[in-house]
Amino acid sequence: MSARIYLLAAGAFAVGTSAYVVSGVLPSVSSELHVSLTAAGQLATAFALSYAVGAPLLSTLTGRWERRTLLLAALLTAALGNLIAALATDYSVLIVGRVVAAFGAAAYTPAATLFATGFLPPEERGRAVAVVFGGLTFALVLGVPAGSLLGGSLGYRGVFGLIAAVAVVIALAVQTALPKVSAPPAISLRERFAGVTDRRVQIVLAMTVLAVLATMSVYIYVVPLLAKTADLKGGTVGVLLLVYGLGAVVGNLVGGRATDRFGSLRTLGVALGGFTVVIGTLTLTATTVVGAGIALFVWSLFTWAFNPPIQNLLLELGSGGGLLLAMNASAIYLGAGLSAIAGGVVINLVGVEMLPPIAAALGIVVLALLYVLRRNPALEAIEHLEPLETEERLPVAIAD
């Protein structure tokens, strides 16, 4: 695997940390700007909604850009957003910074995924996707604790300023180490959006929304859930969340390798099946520290094994792969945004301990959609689709 792909993963780590770190600096934002924790929490909402809207929009607007230039612009936009947040002395300015940073992240992640897979044969694309998304998983593992640790000493301004500096350094490395890559062949807007109207693509995007909704509706409320099932709190829960993050790293890598070896559909079936069983039995298995640690690790492993095959599947399904990856990124953030609302409704109606079985029911729905995708005669079989000949295989124009 080319070292250049790991550089792309480093960029994903920077923009991913920009997204996740906010949870760790909420107390600092609340105290320094004299706003409630609830208001500070809306910084995450602003980022998620901006990302969801920005990903497909920016993919369309930048469709004819040279690829390295797009990556540089995305990283520098993310850096600018974090710099604005670092300099903000007013809550509204801080929101603006989060929106700008989200646009940078929304442009970067799909473009980096496409860049990483563009030079590789189909049998290696799953691992390439896993490496890029590995940057996001490490951001998940390190982002929140780093924000919490540094927020106390540096304040939110120092944390966002540090992220901005990291993004600039990676942008300089991208400029130096990556080749220029010409834009994909010009296609009309009708052709670009043709893939989105494909029923198979719509099913895949629905699978993403529901799968993210299922897992995040439990993860967001995992602290009160563990307090209910095992009477766990404080530092113990922090260690268990780290175990969850480690499971994410392993699951992402396993999902990439399994995709290359067994194909997207088979890997998705195993990941979804495993997730459904583990999440459905969480209230039974997470009753001790050891049981909770094992359950959270395996739950995270299956959850994050979902990402590489779903991304690879979209690349197999039709033209306009860049837009499809951007739409999938929007679907991820849509599912994440809905999860807090849905989880809160479930807790108010039937209690926190009912979140896992309801999430498992959603997992069964996603498995049913996968079955439709594979078996419905109205859908073309996709196990043996040839790699796309549009923007998925990117021609190198100039190697610097």
Higher pLDDT, 344 or 395: 344
For 62-120, write each residue's pLDDT tens digit.
877 888 999 999 999 999 999 999 999 899 999 999 999 999 999 998 888 888 877 67
Q: Say what the pLDDT of residue 400 is.
A: 38
Place of tokens 């849905």: 342
Report the percent of the chain where pLDDT is more than 70.
85
Is the separation of the CB atoms in 273 and 315 below 8 Å? no
pLDDT for 395 beyond 60: no
Question: Average pLDDT for residues 33-52, to the nearest whole number?
Answer: 80
Question: Average pLDDT for residues 9-29, to the nearest whole number?
Answer: 83
**What mean pLDDT value characterizes the chain?**
83
pLDDT for 396 beyond 70: no
pLDDT for 380 beyond 60: no
pLDDT for 379 beyond 60: no
Q: How far apart are the C-alpha atoms of 31 and 78, rounded to whole Å?
A: 25
Structure tokens at 281: 């039995």
Q: Say what the pLDDT of residue 392 is.
A: 42
For 194-225, write each residue's pLDDT tens digit.
667 778 888 999 999 999 999 988 987 888 89
Phi, psi values for residue 65, rounded to 5°: -75, 145
Q: How far apart are the C-alpha atoms of 106 and 50, rounded to whole Å?
A: 8
Confidence of residue 271 (pLDDT cuts 50, 70, 90): very high
For 183-195, write each residue's pLDDT tens digit.
666 555 555 556 6
Is the separation of the CB atoms in 116 and 5 below 8 Å? yes
For 298-348, write each residue's pLDDT tens digit.
999 999 999 889 988 887 876 555 678 778 888 888 888 788 788 888 988
Q: Say what the pLDDT of residue 394 is.
A: 46
Higher pLDDT, 335 or 356: 356
Question: Average pLDDT for residues 9-13, to the nearest whole number?
Answer: 91
Higher pLDDT, 208 or 16: 208
Q: How far apart are the C-alpha atoms of 4 and 119, rounded to whole Å?
A: 11
Lowest-confidence range among 182-186, 285-289, 389-393?
A: 389-393
Report the percent of the chain where pLDDT is more than 90.
38
The top-scoring range by mean pLDDT among 114-123, 141-150, 254-263, 288-297 is 288-297
Q: Say what the pLDDT of residue 188 is.
A: 53
Q: How far apart are the C-alpha atoms of 225 and 336, rounded to whole Å?
A: 18
Is the separation of the CB atoms in 51 and 106 below 8 Å? yes
Question: Average pLDDT for residues 254-260, to the nearest whole number?
Answer: 91
